[in-house]
Amino acid sequence: MSYARITGTGGYLPKKVLKNKDLESLLDTTDEWIYTRTGIRQRHIAADNEFTCDLAEQAARIALDAAQRTPDEVDLIVVATTTPDQVFPSTACLLQERLGIHGCPAFDVQAVCAGFIYAMDVAQRYIQTGASRCALVVGAETFSRILDWSDRSTCVLFGDGAGAMVLESSSEPGILSSHLHADGAYKDLLCVPVGVSTAYRELLNGQAYTEMQGREVFKWAVSALGDAVMEAVKANGLSCLDIDWLVPHQANIRIINAIARRLDLSMDNVVVTIGRHGNTSAASIPLAFDEAVRDGRIKDGQTIIIEGFGGGFTWGSLLFKF
């Protein structure tokens, strides 16, 4: 069995920036309320003619360049998204066509904000078993399209973006363990309550919006994510002191702070982008990771944990050597 190692990362954010101050004129809200409750100051919003696959393509090309790989070397594409361009084909197939890749497996994974963790888990298993040698894993979202922009309790939280990683087979670690969970009993606490099968007209009319019971989600996220990080640490016989970086899903700075406190981790060892990106769902972890790699914080050989939590509920963690 070989390890799956991250050999390149990339990120892409749409040009348009929507600041909290801009929202003040659209909604009964304030920059101060949003910032103190969430840590968010601004988010990026895709242009009207810009779709999830456009963002995914940009991030993927940057990650492939960083890995010094050409698209024809990719033998697996997994895209985590909740906001696909089309009902079908999958965004992974659309991305495959954009990149000029033919024949390798390409599919989407849907686990909302935990989607990137799920996608990495799947890709690393392909690599460990020898079914893939060079996988492209992307988290990409145009979450702004499934928000009710008159609902101040949800629309201020999210943004659009994409992040990507190239995973390659290696004799050196690599991903050391991954831990996925889900519990559909909580399906109603965070959801878009309609879909293709139940309400296609609402979808076509752009009336399919994110609904959330924020307080319940908050409590659950802190507890489940803290447990998921500990699960990864213990599975590898480590302690939190051995972790160089925690790269969490960026949903709310108060959730991130609470997890760091619970694990006795200094915030100096936590990558935080929520202030500038908002919650970009499946894209948030690879975007944050890419930023910290590019600015030199995350270095070769370091021990990293990534964790995510999303609608379903779905949640999980991954521990690896970079």
The residues of the shown chain that bind ligand ACO, judged by CB under 6 A, are: 29, 33-34, 37-38, 112-113, 152-153, 156, 190, 212, 214-215, 217-218, 221, 251-252, 255, 279, 281, 309-311
Distance of CA 33 to the CA centre of its chain: 25
Count of CB atoms situated within 10 Å of the CB of 125: 14
Q: Which is nearer to ligand ACO, 201 or 215 (CB)?
A: 215
Q: At closest approach, how far in Å is the CB of 310 from ligand ACO? A: 3
Q: Tell me the chain's radius of gyration from C-alpha atoms.
A: 18
Q: Which is nearer to ligand ACO, 94 or 117 (CB)?
A: 117
Among the listed residues 20, 44, 134, 279, the single catalytic one is 279
Using left for φ > 0, alpha for ψ between -120 and 50, and beta otherwise, residue 38 falls in alpha
Q: At closest approach, how far in Å is the CB of 252 from ligand ACO? A: 4
Q: Locate 211 and state its tokens.
A: 């609904």
Q: Which is nearer to ligand ACO, 219 or 299 (CB)?
A: 219
* 265 and 225 Cβ atoms separated by less than 8 Å: no
Q: Which is nearer to ligand ACO, 39 or 174 (CB)?
A: 39
Q: At closest approach, how far in Å is the CB of 210 from ligand ACO? A: 7
* 249 is a catalytic site residue: yes
Among the listed residues 44, 179, 249, 277, the single catalytic one is 249
* 279 is a catalytic site residue: yes
Point out the residue whose Cβ comes nearest to ligand ACO. Answer: 214
Q: At closest approach, how far in Å is the CB of 154 from ligand ACO? A: 7
Residue 176 phi/psi, 5-degree rounding, is -100, -35
- CB neighbour class for 107 (10 Å; exposed up to 12, middle 13-18, buried from 19): middle
Q: At closest approach, how far in Å is the CB of 135 from ligand ACO? A: 24
Distance of CA 66 to the CA centre of its chain: 19
Among the listed residues 113, 134, 155, 252, the single catalytic one is 113
Q: At closest approach, how far in Å is the CB of 136 from ligand ACO? A: 23
Q: Residues with Cβ < 8 Å from 111, sequence gap 6 or more?
A: 80, 117, 118, 182, 282, 308, 310, 312, 314
DSSP 132: -
Q: At closest approach, how far in Å is the CB of 109 from ligand ACO? A: 14
Q: Which is nearer to ligand ACO, 178 or 210 (CB)?
A: 210
Q: Which is nearer to ligand ACO, 34 or 136 (CB)?
A: 34
Count of CB atoms situated within 10 Å of the CB of 281: 34
Q: Which residues of 47-78 are buried (b: 16+ CB within 10 A; e: fewer)?
A: eeebbbbbbbbbbbbbbbebbebebeebbbbb
Q: Which is nearer to ligand ACO, 75 or 141 (CB)?
A: 141
Distance in angstroms (rounded) separating the CA atoms of residues 122 and 116: 10
Distance of CA 146 to the CA centre of its chain: 16
Distance in angstroms (rounded) separating the CA atoms of residues 60 and 230: 31
Catalytic residues: 113, 249, 279
